[in-house]
Amino acid sequence: MIDLHCHSNFSDGLLTPQALLDKARQQGITMLALTDHDTVLGVTALLEANTDKAIRIIQGVELSSRWKKIDIHILGLNIDHQHPVLLELIAKQREHRLTRALQMSERMALLGVEKAYDKACVVAGHQHVARPHFAQVFVNEGKARDLAAAFKRYLQRGKPAYVPTPWISIEEAVSGIKEAGGQAVLAHPLKYDLTRTKLHELVEAFKSAGGVGLEVVSGEMTPSQTQEVAGLCRRFSLLASTGSDYHGDGLSRISLGRQRALPPDCMPVWHLWMD
Ligand code: MN
Ligand code: MN
Ligand code: MN
C-alpha cells in the first residue's frame, strides 16, 4: 500500500510524525510520503523515527502556489528536504503565511476574538499556524460549534476572517522542487472547481513549468473523478500519483493509505524511484 500525500502536526495534521509512522505500520503501508503544507520539518522527524526502515519514506512537501487568483497545491515528492533552494522558498512562504495569520488575527479581533494569533499558536503547539488552528480558536471561544462550522461561517473564501495569501507562482514551486531533486505533482486537480477549459489550461501551465504528474487518486475522490484525472494524464502524458491527504481522524474521512486504487492503465510516479 502506498500513500504519497498526508499531513502531520507540523502543518495542519493531528498526528506527530512518530504517530503517523505507527499508523502507517498498522495500515500495512510500504511507501509513505509526508507532504506538510510549506514545511519539511516533519520530514526530518519522520526519518528519525523510522529507525527500522520497514517503511520507505519519500521526502515530500505540499507547496501552496497562486495561479490566476486561485490557490493551487503542488506536491514535491522524492525531494532532498534539506536542499537550500527549497528551504529558501519555504522561508518565503513562511513569511507570506505569517503576514496572513496576523491579518486574520486582526479580523478576528473585530469579530470579538482577542489575540487570535497567540491562541492559534497555543492550539498548534508551534507558530506555523493555519486556518484549522484559527477554526479551533473560534470553537474554543464559543463562536462556532465545530471546526466545519467555523470554516463555513468565518474562514472560507469570502467570509469575514478570510484573507488571501500571496503565494509563490506555479513556476517557482515546480522549479524549487526540481532543484531539490524531486518530482512536482499537481495535488487534487478537481478540488479547484475549474471548468474543463480552465483545468486543461492549468494542467498545461503546470506541465510547461516542469511538472511531471497529477494526483489521480486523492482522499475522497469518486471513481469517476479518478477516471477523469487519469484521462488528463493520458492526454498530457503525465505520471499518476496517489495519496489519502490524511489530516487525522475526525478531520479526514479517508484514513492513511485507505484511498482507492490507482487505475491499472496509469504510469505511477514511483516508477521513477525504482532502483
Ligand atoms: Mn491541509
Ligand atoms: Mn491540498
Ligand atoms: Mn494536503
- DSSP alpha helix (H) spans, the chain: 17-26, 41-49, 84-110, 116-124, 131-140, 147-150, 170-179, 196-208, 223-236
Q: Which residues pair with 166 in a beta bridge?
A: none
Work out the average pLDDT over 48-69.
95
CA of 253 to the centre of ligand 2 (A): 15
Q: What is the pLDDT of residue 126?
A: 82
Determine the Cα–Cα distance for residues 182 and 201; give it in Å rounded to an integer. Answer: 23
Question: Grid coordinates in use for 206?
Answer: 503546470
User: The whole model's pTM is what?
Assistant: 0.88
Higher pLDDT: 222 or 130? It is 222
Ligand 2 midpoint to CA 136 (Å): 19
Give the pLDDT confidence score for residue 196 in this predicted structure.
96
Question: Averaged over 157-167, what is the pLDDT?
Answer: 91
Give me the DSSP letters along 139-183. HHTTS-SSHHHHIIIIISTTSTT-----PBPHHHHHHHHHHTT-E
CA of 77 to the centre of ligand 2 (A): 14
- Using the mean position of ligand 1's atoms as its centre, give its distance from the Cα of residue 115 in Å: 23
| Grid cell at residue 201 | 489550461
Per-residue pLDDT at 142: 96
Side-chain-side CA neighbours of 133 within 13 Å: the count stands at: 25
